[in-house]
Chains A and B, each alone.
Chain A
């Protein structure tokens, strides 16, 4: 694999995302406002509870979890479904398919620049802000390394799910409907809106068997645990890796089959 042609796309993406100075400012302000809202909301919730620890999570744990989940979301959301759907409707997809690059890879690397700039402009500041605001409640040790490895796999799983959903757009014009369903399912079942620990028992078990919890819950629980047992780390990362491979294969195969069908039928 010639990495250079992919890195060119990354570079272009970074340049493009830096063009919009005002929207960058808006993004920062938006994130700060969001942090404030989340802080007050969960503080009020915990203040109303009788105990300090709910489902094994303190207020600080929950706050870090929720805030970083949302930072991860803004960093991982690539609007892939919209991108694919629009390209299909406008016919631009034909041009993209002619590029001397696998479409799945092309799309990913086109967005990778946004990854880089989002990481430094959104995720890092949020991470540092939360770390300071909670008085260093985020443990800084080996868990950071596990977290980093875990996030890379999260990105991969998330991308596979997005690409799979985008492929559905070859069959229907309803991009909005398809996208919103995906988003709702992923956000709820991955523990991005409410930590998985808060879910009632049978639901929690089911969710551990689904790929979604590997996107948000896995990296965040690794990060929050300052002193993890090696076994837990292995199981979490192993599960993620498994889902990485499974979702990659599924999304690739589905794309291949769909594309063949479309080219045969001349859709």
Chain B
């Protein structure tokens, strides 16, 4: 794999992705109704999430020392960092069916990276609505907290959001890859998907044991909490927050390896 990656560099893959994406968008436009309904569905999801959030804070003014706007910021942050996984890695949800039916084998015959080829097939445009909603939420809470805004802050925000995205992508990759070993891996993916909803709460609410688990084993604390501390509580940033970009890359690498290992071990159930 290494040698091919060197031979076929980033430019090669970006060009192919660009081409597939452009064509895919063009053909999606021909399914206008589907596009509109999916977008409305996405807006519904976001509004419902926001409404639950709002109802909660009508009854309780703060959670574990985190105020309304700070929690809102965490919420928006998690929405934005979940966008890349939604947009670029949505084919992971179908992996189970491809493996189960034996159709996965069709991805194994091309002279390009298997993981790339598989993920490139689907670009999920719905994620963009979530992105807009998340940015709006962040901007709103930012303005209400009187946080300073400058180029450095923006840079921090972007870097730490990408970090958070990497963590979520890693979790989903690893969860999806379980289908190479477990027949009905839907539950694993669903579990990860359900847990991302809890990423928007500060990890400090947990007891030390579970704080450890949600930091190192099942790292949902990196999806919003640790990275956003850098912005929200600049005076008390733990070392883990600063390390989170590195941790994100490491987790992504591990999940990629697991995925590829599963794919090469895969023997194609349909004969």
Establish whether A and B are touching in the complex (CB under 8 Å): yes
Q: How far is the CA of A199 from the CA of B185 in the complex (A)?
A: 36
* A132 contacts across to B, CB distance below 8 A: none
For window 46-104 of A, CB contacts with B under 8 Å fall at 46-49, 54-55
Shortest CB–CB separation between residue A88 and chain B, in angstroms? 14
A178 beta carbon closer than 8 Å to chain B: yes
Q: Mark A8-29, 1 if CB is under 8 A from B, else 0.
A: 0000000000011011001100
What's the interface size class on B, roughly?
Answer: 35 or more
Binds A, one of B145-153, B202-210, B239-247: B202-210
Instruction: Digitize A170-206: 1 where CB-to-B-CB distance is under 8 Å, 0 elsewhere.
Output: 0011101111110011011000011000111000000
One of B7-15, B44-52, B223-231 at the interface: B44-52
Q: Which of B42, B48, B190, B218 has the most CB of A within 10 A?
A: B48
Q: Is A48 touching B65 in the complex (CB atoms < 8 A)?
A: yes
Q: Is the CB of A178 within 8 A of B59?
A: no
A43 at the interface (CB under 8 A from B): yes
Q: CB distance A193 to B183 under 8 Å?
A: no
Select which of A37, A185, A194 is within 8 A of B55 by beta carbon. Answer: A194
Known contacts A47-B64, A48-B65: A23-B182 contact under CB 8 Å: yes
Q: Which of B31-39, B77-85, B249-257, B258-266 lines the interface with chain A?
A: B31-39
A45 touches B181 (CB 8 A): no
Known: A23-B182, A181-B44. A176 touches B38 (CB 8 A): yes
Q: Contacts of B59 on A, CB cut-off 8 Å?
A: 49, 54-55, 198
Instruction: Name B97's closest neighbour in chain A (CB-CB).
Output: A86
CA distance A59 to B145 in the complex (A): 30
Kindly state whether residue B19 has any CB partner on chain A within 8 Å. no
Whole-angstrom distance between the alpha carbons of A27 and B59 in the complex?
A: 32
Indicate if the CB atoms of A180 and B45 lie closer than 8 Å: yes
Stretch among B111-119, B166-174, B193-201 lining the A interface? B193-201
Are B58 and A172 neighbours in the complex by a CB distance under 8 Å? no
- B31, A194: Cβ atoms under 8 Å? no
Closest Cβ–Cβ distance, residue B133 to chain A (whole Å) = 14
Task: Say yes or no: A200 contacts B55, CB within 8 Å.
Answer: yes
Question: Judging by beta carbons under 8 Å apart, are B185 and A181 in contact?
Answer: no
Residues of chain A contacted by B48 (CB below 8 angstroms): 184-185, 187-188
B83-117 CB contacts (< 8 Å) to partner A: none
| A20 lies within 8 A of B182 (CB) | yes
CB of B3 closer than 8 Å to a CB of A: no
Cα A49 to Cα B39 with chains together (Å): 37
A19, closest chain B residue (CB): B183
> In angstroms, how far is the closest chain B Cβ from the Cβ of A196?
10
Between-chain CB contacts (< 8 Å), 16 pairs? A19-B183, A20-B182, A26-B178, A26-B182, A30-B187, A37-B206, A41-B201, A46-B60, A48-B64, A48-B65, A173-B34, A177-B37, A177-B41, A180-B44, A184-B41, A194-B56
Using a CB–CB cutoff of 8 Å, the interface residues on chain B facing chain A are 31, 33-34, 37-42, 44-45, 48, 51-52, 55-56, 58-65, 126, 178, 181-188, 190-191, 194-195, 198, 201, 205-207, 210, 218
